Amino acid sequence: MDVKLAESRIKELQNLLNQYNYEYHVLDKPSVPDAEYDQLLKELVALEEQFPAFKTTDSPTQRVGGAVLDAFKKVEHRTPMLSLGNAFNETDLKDFDRRVRQSVGGDIAYVCELKIDGLAVSLRYENGLFIQGATRGDGTIGEDITANLKTIKSIPLRLSEAVTIEVRGEAFMPKKSFEALNAMKEENGEEPFANPRNAAAGSLRQLDPKIAASRNLDLFLYSIADVGATGVTSHSQGLDYLEKLGFKTNQERRRFTTIEEVIEFVQGWTEKRPHLPYEIDGMVIKVDSLDQQEELGTTAKSPRWAIAYKFPAEEVVTILKDIELSVGRTGVITPTAILEPVRVAGTTVQRASLHNEDLIREKDIKIGDYVVIKKAGDIIPEVVNVLPERRTGEEKDFHMPTHCPECESELVRLEEEVALRCINPKCPAQIREGLIHFVSRDAMNIDGLGEKVISQLFQEKLIEDVADIFKLTKEQLLGLERMGEKSVTNLLTAIEASKQNSLEKLLFGLGIRHVGAKAAKTLAQQFETMNRLSQATRDELTAINEIGEKMADSIFTYFENEEVHELLEELVEAGVNMEYKGPKPVSVADSDSFFAGKTVVLTGKLEQLSRNEAKDRLEALGAKVAGSVSKKTDLVIAGEEAGSKLTKAQELGIEVWSEEKMLLELEK
């Protein structure tokens, strides 16, 4: 075949197969038999191999999975992927409706959609071509899984219009694909996936895209990240626009003007959900008007214009075989029910927390009882109640011990607490749990040093306190199970890097009672060094707005302990940073900055700073950084591809700056 004829045939096959893909995977209306599609794809693969210059990024051959990746790159979302607040009953939905109507008034319309139980992803297109896909991650930073998303046939590699756009959706594994995958795993003697959500997430985080391609995933689009110049003015219109571009959206959505209609729709799907070919775990209710969404705004974590209704938890009956006790890092003794394994909401449950002795007494729980189990929020197993009518007389009462099950120290119940507590500071269980907390993400964030490795190190007496972590050697780590040369090198690198963390990370990691991550940052900003904080008086501590008397007492008592100061000296000797490295907040009264007291909104892509860096620097000068534009906004900083927020700012006559102008002002 000559070159011109080959180019023509390749283009013809690409267009034809893309059309067949769209008909089959998006419209669910295949126009050709599978055998014919496979034959045409085989021909295209052969031609592209012979004439590689004509292989394009939107060719159907790109969906079979490419080279194995070394790792996933991090991606910063230009518009944060916020989580939704939850509603669990009719009252919660009515409260949501009341808050919306009080805030915006006028006519309200809601769009109700099925809440697909999968993995939230973001897709970016430039001039109509798919260029990047990422996981939600923590909402601000996700992972680049473009190669794996390309294998999902319902995701168009080229849109019907040459637009630049970022869209969000839910990747999921249909029930049939899930059943086939688990059947294959069991046949191979492998552990099956617990549920389709885990299977979808696991498939999209494979470094080998060919594995993702074999899993038959699917995806529904549910929003546009920034409507920009699309002309879209409502959420429902946005979904229609996504369909026009060639995306697959869920067709079970409906638009209503009253919350009563919403509730009726939700209740209907509570009954119908088992008959769907995919899993859903609730319904999403969104205010339809984008102007009203902007007016309602967001909190730090979730939009005020949307809510997720969670279906009532599935309840099952099983036998409570025993009650085990565990000791937490603060010494609290927690009883845990050991259950006859039972399937609940898609996973096998064998354990459920009983919280404390008072709950066991209140629910009259005995060892050997038949009990009703559910998952709170479809996640955490809990005992709902016992079935006393099934008792045989052989059930046994449970009594909490008087001494710690780990160190035999006498247990105490502190004033106004229901929990029993071990107050021995040398209790092995508390030390082990404290070490696990110290290396966790919100604390020192030492990658590779998880619970299993910490437990091994502690059991082998290689670490006894947090300072020992920084004394670990390559030889010691190589002696552990499943720790090879590369793993050990990576772990030692992560430990070394953690020494440079800002003070608040260390402060939270030390596990001072009542001091969470936010309070740790407040303390670090206020005192700047560990030395100054350790010498603070109770009055100095309570003078800080966010620090109450209870927390102040806990901090003061912690630093009174001589052993704490010995530990801090060891950490200093190991090279661990003891100073706050972030921007120090300035009160509006003390700041002479232009930004002091102003409400600022960031929009579009910033070139020189990340969104979080800009936010930190503005807040350090006394600004309040908001997520949406309203009449209360004083200033909008607009980067590249700024969309609806910029448009609204211009409509309201709000001052708009470029990133360059912001940086000049920040440097003053």
Q: E-strand spans in 520-606?
A: 599-603
Contact call for residues 78 and 165 (beta carbons, < 8 A): no
Token pair 């700073």 is found at 609
20-28: list long-range contacts, CB under 8 Å, 24+ apart. Answer: 21/60, 21/153, 22/156, 22/246, 24/153, 25/153, 25/154, 25/218, 25/248, 26/154, 26/156, 26/246, 26/247, 26/248
Distance (Å, whole) CA 205 – CA 145: 7
Burial of 667 (0-12, 13-18, 19+ CB in 10 A): exposed
- Give the number of residues written for the chain: 668
Q: How far is CA 102 from the centre of its chain?
A: 30
Consecutive H or E run containing 563: helix 562-573
Query: What type of residue is 242?
Result: L
Distance (Å, whole) CA 422 – CA 91: 41
Contact call for residues 156 and 22 (beta carbons, < 8 A): yes
User: What φ, ψ does residue 530 adopt, rounded to 5°?
Assistant: -65, -35
Distance (Å, whole) CA 343 – CA 363: 22
Q: Which two tokens stand for residue 166?
A: 């970022």
**DSSP letter (8 states) at residue 487:** H
Distance (Å, whole) CA 266 – CA 312: 11
Token pair 């297109």 is found at 125
Q: Report the DSSP beta bridge partners of residue 141.
A: 76
Contacts of 134 (CB under 8 A, 6+ apart): 75, 77, 121, 122, 142, 143, 144, 145, 146
Known catalytic membership, residue 115: yes
Torsion of CA 180, 184, 190, 193, to 10 degrees: -10
Torsion sign across C-alpha atoms 281, 286, 288, 293? negative
Contact call for residues 262 and 287 (beta carbons, < 8 A): no
Distance (Å, whole) CA 250 – CA 178: 20
Torsion of CA 40, 43, 45, 50, to 10 degrees: -160
Catalytic residue among 115, 248, 505, 645: 115
Torsion of CA 486, 488, 489, 493, to 10 degrees: 140
CA–CA distance from 610 to each of 132, 165, 180 (Å)?
18, 20, 43
Token pair 């609290």 is found at 332
Q: Report the DSSP beta bridge partners of residue 143.
A: 74
Q: Which two tokens stand for residue 666?
A: 């920040």
User: What φ, ψ does residue 619 adopt, rounded to 5°?
Assistant: -65, -30
Torsion sign across C-alpha atoms 424, 426, 427, 429? positive
Distance (Å, whole) CA 193 – CA 182: 6
Distance (Å, whole) CA 632 – CA 593: 19
Nearest residue to 40 via CA among 64, 63, 65, 14: 14
The helix/strand/coil state of 514 is coil
Nearest residue to 214 via CA among 229, 202, 224: 202
Query: Annotated catalytic sites, by residue?
Result: 115
